[in-house]
Structure formats: structure tokens, C-alpha cells
Amino acid sequence: MSDQNKQIELPDFITVRDLAETMGASSIDVIKKLMANGVMASINQQIDFDTAAIVAEELGFDAKSTADADAEPVSSGDLPEWRKIIDQVDESKLKRRPPVVTILGHVDHGKTSLLDRIRSTNVADGEAGGITQHIGAYQVTHDGRLITFLDTPGHAAFTAMRARGAQVTDLAILVVAADDGVMPQTKEAIAHAKAAQVPIVVALNKIDKANANPELVKTQLATAGLVPEEYEGDTMVIPISALKGDGIEDILEAILLVTDELKIDADPNGKAAGTIVEAERNKSRGVLATMLVQNGNLKQGDAIVAGNISGRVRAIFDFRGKKIKSAGPSTPVEIMGLSDVPSSGDMFEIVKNERTARKVAEERSIAAKASANAKKSGPTLDQIFSQFNAGKVQELNLIIKADVQGSLEPIISSLEKLGNDDIKVRIIHSGTGNIGESDILLASASDAIVIGFNAEPDTSAKNAAATEKVQIRFYNIIYRLIEDIELALNGMLEPEFIERATGVAEVRALFRISKVGNVAGCMITDGEIGRADHARISRGGEIIHEGKISSIKHLQEDVASIRKGFECGISMEKFNKFKEGDIISAYVVEEKNTVF
Ligand code: GDP
């Protein structure tokens, strides 16, 4: 750096265009400097501060980070975890806080009935009965102690939040109907809670029913990994009837007992932080966000950042919709005052003032856009070993779905024998039936790979796998599956590639276009051909060329792909000797056994 250099301030991420503008330089010069440094960037591309600072220096500027310029112990870029905030708190300031409980279980086993029953009989402040709950959470008192319930039954919501990095639940109540027993969603819920390391208390519901069979259900629970206390395990199983109200006090008692064994602390006077449970825009009141305060004391007037949205807490309401001035740890509240709607699972925190809130939010939006470009993907089987070598994983997490129980058992017992002291297979969840969306969410939240043994993903699972970048591998022979996992654990699994046919076109005419060369006027006779596909050209049954498609035109316009029944012009890389009657068979190359 030299004394003559002009000073500029740059954020953590900046586009090439904005960097050029900040320096009063031309974008072309910036791109050239970047290229000279080995970075191929387009004008709208985001570059990080370090890269921008190098280019700036070469163009005669000293770059300073805006983050340094207004240093505050607020983490920008990465979302802060409220837990990290608590970790920074002096131990002596930590106080017990109410536990936060989520209710999970199979459909129709009584989750909603239990939530309703607890709310109507035990709601805090003795307003039993007539209260109308305002938001998706409430608090009750038992033995003079508060318990917070999140009113979002179902493990999909639970895991969707966790996939975003949020962990709000301290304890899960697993509702199992005594007349129906452990069902597929019960097993899923167990897997989800265990993956989140959340302790489980079982509410054995519907014991009023004539065909209730609690003993059978306890055996099923033991087999599913929740061994009841009376079988010398450590799972509390509480018989209840949500319908009649029996056992409700016992459930609350059990929650407090488990809570006492957990470290459920927060600094009630510290900086407020927590998680967005849900949020919406209301026509007359603006953005309303339901949040769980997890640390500190949230006050009216505080400047707030939630995800990449900023604002000021204009009003706070408790779960009954009553206006309050402040809220401490484990309190569910609704607030007004955010500038836009944050996402469920976003974390919020309080900052010095609104200006800082806006700045942190802005930087996070930029960082989020930059990381969306390089979207995190889940592990693939052949990457596991390199991650292990880099010290990142000690376990290969798997979710296994098989067509029948008879295949599942040998697969699990063989897989459990694999690995060594350093790296092991951990089966997060297994079950029979097709692969569902909740399997994918669980895999995403636990960095797991999904294995389908004669089991296919349904449409929503396929879509979720694509967005969450979760790898699914398919097998129909047990020893192949075991062999692949063993090879992956030893770092010897080579990715295998296969072709997938996409579409077929028939050449019907030839055109010559200057600059492009010969273009084949085609009719797509099958499937859909994409601009980035590979293709084979055959003439009279013989393949005369194989290579990449370079462009597809429809009515003079370049198009990304074209479907059966449409006419188009296709040109290929390094080939232009088309003849009428040639067949173009297009395909893509994909990693074998994998869908994303
Ligand atoms: P969810 O799908 O898990 O939320 O289940 P619901 O709470 O909606 O309950 C499903 C059905 O079971 C409803 O018809 C309830 O009335 C009934 N139910 C729930 N709890 C009990 C119970 O303790 N005893 C009996 N007999 N029926 C119950």
C-alpha cells in the first residue's frame, strides 16, 4: 500500500460493476485485472472483499472493509446462532429458562387434541378455558413453573426449521395412540428428534379406548429405539387420554423432570436473540412475526435484524395478543415493525440502532446471494472420504428406505458392521415404503445420503432433493449397496457416469447462417433436447459423429430446450456436414445411481 493511494470502503461482497463504479474505473479494466489474477468474472458477478481489495490496490486504491469501519460485536455474513451468543455470556449471568416443547407423532394419534387439552386446562395466568390463542405457540404453568409449547405439530416443520440452522425445541413429546401403535410417522419422528439430539417423552394416548394395548406399544417402542423405563430403558412413557383429560398433569410433570436434567439456560438480561417461528404481512398492521425469544430481554423500541430483514420493534404482543413491553427467554411473542417478511427458522437479534440493523441486513442479503450462486450441496457418497480426510466427518449418515422389512433388516445389520474406529456408518432413519419429502428434509438437516432399495422418491421428494441438493442412491442388490458403502468409507468409490437419453430429432432441411455455419433444420420426434446436451448423429443406421450441441434456434431465437413436435435449427460443435434424413439422438451424462 502506498501513501498516495486513495482510500475506499468495500463491503464483504461486491459486484464487478459496483466495484468499478466505487473506484470511478471502467468495468473492463476491473475484469482485466481480475483475469490477470486468475479470476474469470462477469460484470454482474459478486466478488469477495479480499479479491476486490487486490484489484483496488492494483488500480491505485487502499480498500478498507466496511465491516471494520463500523465494528460492533454483531456477526455479519453468517447468521448468528443464539447459542453462540449464549456461549459468549458469562456463566454467572445464566439463569434457568422454561423448556420449549414440540409435539410429534403419527397422523390421527392425537397431537392436536393433546395441544388443545393442555392449553385449555393449564394456560398461564389462570385464564383457563376462554382464552383465544393468537399465535402458533403458548405457555402454561405447572407447579408454578412455565412450559412453552410450539403449536406446529409434525416433524416436517420441526426439521424444515433445523435444515435452516435453527434449533428451538428442548424436548419432544411423541404421541403414540395405544390402539394403533408405532407407525411409519412415529418412526420418522423418533429419527428426526434423535438427529436433533432432542430428548423424547412418549405420550401413550387414547388409553380410554377398549382396544388400547399399551403393553404391545411399549414393546414396539423398545424395538424402535425408545426403551421404556419399566424395561430398564430411559424413555418415560406416560399413559394419557387427550380426549378425557387423563394423564395431562403427568405429562407436564414428566416434561419438568426431563427439563431438570438438561442445561436449559439463558441470560435474561442480555442481548435479545432467538428464532422466527412464522411471519406474514397483514394489510393494516404491516409485517407480523411470531418469534421465540431464546436469550436476553426483547424490548419495545429495540433495533432488530431477522435473517436479512431489519426493523424496529414497534409493538410486542404475547400469545394471547395482549400488548407487552418486554419478553424474556423462552417467551413466544408476536412483533410489529420488521420492514419485510422474514422466513421461518431465520434467527433474529437485537443491534445497537436501526442504521446498524439495516447495514447488517444488507450485508447478509449480499452474502446470501453470493452463497446462492455457490449453493451448498449435501455430500455425495464419493466425496465422503475426502471430507473425512479433511477432518470434517467421522460418520457417514444414511437414511435407508426399502420396499419390504425383509430387505431392510439384512441391509441395516450389514451396514452397521462396516467402518472402523475413525469412520462409521450411522443410520439416522430407516423404513419401508417410498422416499418422501420428510426423508429428504431429514437428510438435508443431518448431511445424510438417502438410499433407496427398490424404493423410489415421490414427486415432492424429488423436488426437495433437487432444491436441498440431497443425494439419493438406488440399489436392487444388497451386496452392491454394501460394497459401495464400504468403498466409500475407504475412499475408493469412483463416481460412475451414465447416459440418459433426452430427445431425438430428424434433420429435414439444411441452412447456412453466416458466423454459425451449417444448421440442421429439424423436427423433434421424441422427448426434449437441451442446448447443453450431447448428441450422436446417425445416418443410415451408422453413427457418423458424436459431440456437443452448440445452439438450438426456434424461429430465429436461441432457446434453452425444445420439445417433441416442434421445429428448430440445431448446430453442433465441430460438425457441420449434416444431410437430410440424419437422426440426432441427444443425451446427458449423469452420475450413476444418483438423483439430485
Ligand atoms: P393429530 O392428527 O395427531 O393431530 O390427531 P387429532 O388430535 O386430530 O386426533 C385424531 C382423532 O383421534 C380425533 O378424532 C380425536 O378426537 C381422537 N382422539 C384424540 N385423542 C384421543 C383420546 O385420548 N381418546 C380417544 N378415544 N380419541 C382421541
- Are 415 and 425 a contacting pair, CB within 8 Å? yes
Pairing mode, if any, of strands 200-205 and 237-239?
Answer: parallel
Determine the length of the chain: 596
What spacing in Å lies between the alpha carbon of 114 and ligand 1's midpoint?
A: 8
CA neighbor of 134 nearest in space, from 284, 348, 287, 334: 334
CA angle 471, 472, 478 (to 5 degrees): 135
- The H-or-E segment that residue 310 falls in is strand 309-317
User: Best of 102, 107, 108 to mutate for ligand 1, by most ligand atoms within 8 A of CB?
Assistant: 108
d(CA 417, ligand 1 centre) in Å: 41
Provide residues with CB under 6 Å of ligand 1.
105, 107-113, 153, 205-206, 208-209, 241-243
Low-confidence ranges of the chain (pLDDT < 50): 1-2, 68-80, 82, 124, 126-131, 374-375, 596
Amino acid 80: pLDDT = 43
Task: Give the model's pLDDT for residue 121.
Answer: 75
Give this prediction's pTM. 0.62
- Residue 126: the pLDDT is 47
Predicted pLDDT at 236: 97
Distance CA 596, CA 591 (A): 10
Of the candidates 361, 386, 131, 106, the residue with the CA atom closest to the CA atom of residue 224: 106
The DSSP code for 81 is P
- pLDDT at residue number 463: 85
Atom of ligand 1 nearest to the CA of 209: 26
- Interval between CA 139 and ligand 1 midpoint (Å): 22
Residues 6+ apart with CB under 8 A from 239: 178, 204, 207, 214, 246, 247
Name residues whose C-beta falls within 8 Å of residue 555's C-beta, 6 or more positions apart in sequence. none
Give me the pLDDT at residue 536, please.
92
Q: Which of 107, 111, 113, 205 best tests ligand 1's pocket when mutated (most atoms within 8 Å of CB)?
A: 113
